[in-house]
Amino acid sequence: MNKVELIELIRNDESSGVEFKRDDITPEKLAGEMAALLNLEGGGHILLGVEKDQAVSGLTRDRGRAEEWVMEVARTHVQPAAIPYWETIRWDDARVVGIVSLSSNAPDKPYKAKRGPVWVTKVRVGTTTRDATREEEERLYQQSGRLRYGCKPVLGSAVEMLDLRRLRDYFTRVVGGDAPESDDVDAWRSLLVNLGLATAAAGQVAATIDGMLLFGSNPKRFLPQSGIRAVCYTGEEPDYAVRADEDLKGPLVPLGARDGSLVELGLVDQAWDFVRRNTTPTARLEGARRIDRWDYPGEVVREAVGNALVHRDYSIAGTDIMLAIFSNRLEVVSPGRLPNTVTPAGMRSGTRYARNQTLVNVMRDYGYVEARGMGVRQRIIPGMKAHNGTEPDLVEEENRFAVRLWKEPRTRPMRVRDDRPEYGAET
């Protein structure tokens, strides 16, 4: 960092990733700020010798002692021990600012700060640092790959609350194997536990979150965030006047017949059915045969919805995936940030990732997500280019990720308003 960059940081004031502090704060307080920034996507900076009102007071220690103190705090008051990047910048002849930079690629989340005899997970919320809730701590474990959220038991559930018809259809028709007899409860329990669809909990075998999402008879009862909110608006922005507004619910996978036809739809096909019912196809004749052309190709919509269902952060409760149809575009919006270091640019180039590997594996067997884990590069982008020559938008925001498909080529860039009503709000 140079002085011009430092001036700009101070001018922009404190933020989620920038904290101003004197260097006479306690080690516990400094450790809390370090741990919170290490847990933050993007990391951040602590500016030592800068006041809350943006005035520069400078370090009270000499540079060497300040560096030694910062590194000792990071080693003894942060768990696991961290190694921040330390530098100093001379503000003027009398004042020096110390800069503690915390990496966005910290691998051992969650980071904790020492508070007396205990260790506390810290997070940034706006410009403040606070103790993490249990849910926030679970998400940090999930981001680091140390906790597979989908393997957790669904409290109050039992194996019998999974749809045996769908399970049998999956094991026999979809993957071409065998399934236990319907009344062989022990064999079913053993099979489902081995596949991560059930687990032992509180003295009984319960469905896991993955098992309930994929094959649950009534997933919404146990996982309110398991559905899709589908809305068709009349114009180019969300409004309170809508053409259709439905809550799509049920297991991710369908129930199929032996000939491959669908007896009951899963969520992916429910979403495509909603799109078909709320868009108008154009038709052309090839000989004596009528060919319908939909606004959005089915294989692209299914891939976008399937990706959202298998990759979303299910630890964020109280909000569904959003499927929104506008007069000029279709959007599939997932709650939560992209996992780990995945970026929209990386997805375009073929980055593979899986937040919920069991969901990916099973949905891949059904053909709902691209077999090599590169659905954006292999299906969504080429599918839209072949359909109407448009390039889909991949938009990462603070707490959600959106895939935006365009109905037709744009003659000029369009800016989607940031002040639009929040998705999922009552309409």
pTM exceeds 0.85 for this model: no
Q: What pLDDT, on the 0 to 100 scale, is given for residue 68?
A: 95
Taking CA atoms, 378 is separated from 241, 291, 338, 365, in Å, by 36, 25, 19, 17
> Which H or E run includes 405?
strand 400-406
- The CB density around residue 309, as the number of other CB atoms within 10 Å, is 28
Q: What pLDDT, on the 0 to 100 scale, is given for residue 423?
A: 47
Q: Are the folds of 3-147 and 224-406 the same?
A: no
Fold of domain 3-147 = 3.30.950
Q: What pLDDT, on the 0 to 100 scale, is given for residue 421?
A: 44
The residue among 74, 72, 77 whose CA lies nearest residue 114 is 77
- For the segment(s) 224-406, the CATH number from 3.30.360.10, 3.20.20.70, 3.30.565.60, 3.40.50.360 is 3.30.565.60
Alpha-carbon span 262 to 366, nearest angstrom = 12
- The CB density around residue 324, as the number of other CB atoms within 10 Å, is 19
Largest CA distance in the chain: 87
- Helix H, strand E, coil C: the string for 130-192 is EECCHHHHHHHHHHHCCCCHHHCECCCCCHHHECHHHHHHHHHHHCCCCCCCCCCHHHHHHHH
Q: What pLDDT, on the 0 to 100 scale, is given for residue 415?
A: 58
301, HSE (Cβ side, Cα atoms, 13 Å): 27
Q: What pLDDT, on the 0 to 100 scale, is given for residue 340?
A: 63
* Burial of residue 283, with CB atoms counted within 10 A of its CB: 0-12 exposed, 13-18 middle, 19 or more buried: exposed
Contacts of residue 307, defined as CB under 8 A and 6 or more positions apart, other chains included, come to 332, 369, 375, 376, 403
Q: What pLDDT, on the 0 to 100 scale, is given for residue 129?
A: 95
Q: Is 87 in a helix, a strand, or coil?
A: strand
Strand partners, 400: 335
Domain definitions of the chain by residue range:
3-147, 151-215, 224-406
Per-residue burial over 50-65, b if 16 or more Cβ lie within 10 Å, else e, is beeeeebbbbebeeee
Alpha-carbon span 346 to 86, nearest angstrom = 30
Going by the DSSP 8-state scheme, the letter that residue 102 receives in this structure is E
Alpha-carbon 3 to chain mean position: 36
Tokens linked to 121: 């997970």
Place of tokens 């700060």: 113
> Which H or E run includes 344?
helix 344-349
pLDDT by residue for the chain (427 residues), tens digit each? 999 999 999 999 999 999 999 988 999 999 999 999 999 988 999 999 999 999 999 999 998 999 999 999 999 999 999 999 999 999 999 999 999 999 867 668 889 999 998 999 999 999 999 999 887 887 787 776 666 788 889 988 989 999 999 999 999 999 999 999 988 999 999 999 999 999 987 678 999 999 999 999 999 999 999 999 999 999 999 988 899 999 999 999 999 998 888 999 999 999 999 999 999 888 776 666 777 788 999 999 999 999 999 999 898 888 999 999 999 999 999 998 887 667 888 888 877 777 788 999 999 999 998 866 678 888 999 999 999 999 999 998 878 999 999 999 976 655 555 444 444 444 3
93, HSE (Cβ side, Cα atoms, 13 Å): 0
Q: What pLDDT, on the 0 to 100 scale, is given for residue 416?
A: 56
Vertex 68, ends 66 and 70: CA angle to 5°?
Answer: 70
